[in-house]
Structure 1
């Protein structure tokens, strides 16, 4: 997903892997339709048979790609042993052991393990965590088969769940939480919110498409939205608690009482995801 960032697929092991994994799984459940749309959009020249998912987290992208390309095999790469164990359990539950190879690796390492020669590399909410993205992008270019495609998916930031005038006792609370979160992450995740197009071009790729998907999912239509909102806002509280005014922190704690948040009829998931499709010339 999800963390220095709310929904990361981390490149570094995370002490909070359990909570992060829960958000990644909820993100995959709530946004499954949008994720499938992104895989459908990819400007592929032919059906990929060998796919690498960099920063795979608990497997949202890997499984979306397996569903989209039934003949493909996926190599799923992440630094978190806990996330990879959860992914391994899902692979076994699906009976997909022959289609998924799991590799634990740090994308900031000087040398990556042998990941084969994929036709498609997928990196969702992972590249902004890399300390040296230019080096990582060049490594992906060398990894890909000539003519292969690299899909970089990034989030616009932390999702929003409440209307602007909520909660009633502190209207605009979510906006102020987001502002505090952005200040926190500006010094911790320097490539968050970057325009990956120029970076991909500089690394030797040909950018063939960019698409931003606007997401709005009404909580009344999807019961998982409430749990997703609760888990996400609890995580947001952890990163912004020291930066909020005492009245805002108290209001956030009142909101996070399950009897408050989970009974609201106005919850929704509002966010954006942008995908860049870049080809290795050849």
Structure 2
């Protein structure tokens, strides 16, 4: 690879990293109340003191956990230096930098860095990305202090934002985008939508609770939901464009064009609809 190409590739990766960070932060903002409800539901034996946030991104889980357990020390692990930089900056801005440690690591590696002996490990939206989930689950089991809790939170794919009758010229567009996206994810992310209960049991955990959270947040007048829908569907477009019907792709592009009268940002009928599934498993 030439230097120019290497520099271009690095710039492209930085842009993609930054775009993903924006989506993660909007996701954290929009789903904050539901995340808090999940944390309050956890079958904890006292407040955790040492916490690990696996694939922490820009810190949605890290800061939600610190809001509930302000005395905890949280180790945030991620494979993206850019995400961890944002997380560190937010920790400083919130005045909790003394409670946050960041670790750059790839959780698909055969061995993990020293993450201490936490009494709570949090993994939100990350386990289905693992190449070998069984290895990751066993690694968490061995990491946890005896009696510690492992929390797996997974979302049912891309949220839905539009009513089924939208857009007027291509009703049901979002259903068809989801259908293509689901086919692609089935090839590349076979564990998305999995039942983690049996896998947790096989890794030596005792599953102490399962929770399904129905998310249905009305977006009228909420700028964050508009931006969240725009960013999420832009990312979906990049994945599905080659397999989506030509007329559907044109309709999607009209929704994603912020200067168009048909832009998502001009709609007053957006919502965030999805399900979040939670497993709480204990190392005995």
Check whether TM > 0.5. Answer: yes
> Aligned partners of 2:73 and 2:43: how far apart in 1?
19
1:17 partnered with 2:20: no
Distance 1:275 1:221, change over 3 A: farther
The structural deviation recorded for 1:256 is 1.4
Q: Is the 8 A contact 2:30 2:224 kept in 1?
A: yes
> Aligned partners of 2:70 and 2:236: how far apart in 1?
37
Q: Is the 8 A contact 1:150 1:277 kept in 2?
A: yes
The structural deviation recorded for 1:46 is 1.4
Counterpart for residue 92 of structure 1: 92
Q: Is the 8 A contact 1:25 1:58 kept in 2?
A: yes
1:70 partnered with 2:40: no
Counterpart for residue 126 of structure 1: 126
Unpaired runs of 5+ in structure 2? Answer: 1-12
Q: Output one character per residue of 1:68-102: Cα deviation in whole Å (capped at 9) or x when no partner.
A: 10111100000111111111111111121210010
> Aligned partners of 1:177 and 1:123: how far apart in 2?
27
- Summarize the alignment of residues 1-282 of structure 1 with structure 2, pairs less than 5 Å apart: 16-220=16-220, 222-258=222-258, 259-260=261-262, 261-281=264-284
Distance 1:218 1:118, change over 3 A: same
Counterpart for residue 7 of structure 1: none
> Aligned partners of 1:15 and 1:125: how far apart in 2?
21
Q: Secondary structure at the match of 2:97?
A: coil
> Aligned partners of 2:89 and 2:218: how far apart in 1?
30
TM-score normalised according to structure 1 size: 0.93
Larger Rg: 2
Q: Is the 8 A contact 1:14 1:80 kept in 2?
A: no
Q: Output one character per residue of 1:189-234: Cα deviation in whole Å (capped at 9) or x when no partner.
A: 1211110000000000000000010001111263311111111111
The structural deviation recorded for 1:263 is 1.2
Q: Secondary structure at the match of 1:24?
A: helix
The structural deviation recorded for 1:15 is 7.2
> Aligned partners of 2:223 and 2:14: how far apart in 1?
28
> Aligned partners of 1:182 and 1:130: how far apart in 2?
17
Q: Is the 8 A contact 2:225 2:271 kept in 1?
A: yes
Q: Secondary structure at the match of 1:122?
A: strand
The answer to which structure has the higher helix fraction is 2
Q: Secondary structure at the match of 1:213?
A: strand
Q: Secondary structure at the match of 1:86?
A: helix
Q: Output one character per residue of 1:226-277: Cα deviation in whole Å (capped at 9) or x when no partner.
A: 1111111111111010011111111111111224211111100001111100
Q: Is the 8 A contact 1:120 1:144 kept in 2?
A: yes
What is the alpha-carbon root mean square deviation over aligned residues?
Answer: 1.2
Q: Output one character per residue of 1:93-119: Cα deviation in whole Å (capped at 9) or x when no partner.
A: 112121001000111111111100000
> Aligned partners of 1:249 and 1:97: how far apart in 2?
44
TM-score normalised according to structure 2 size: 0.93
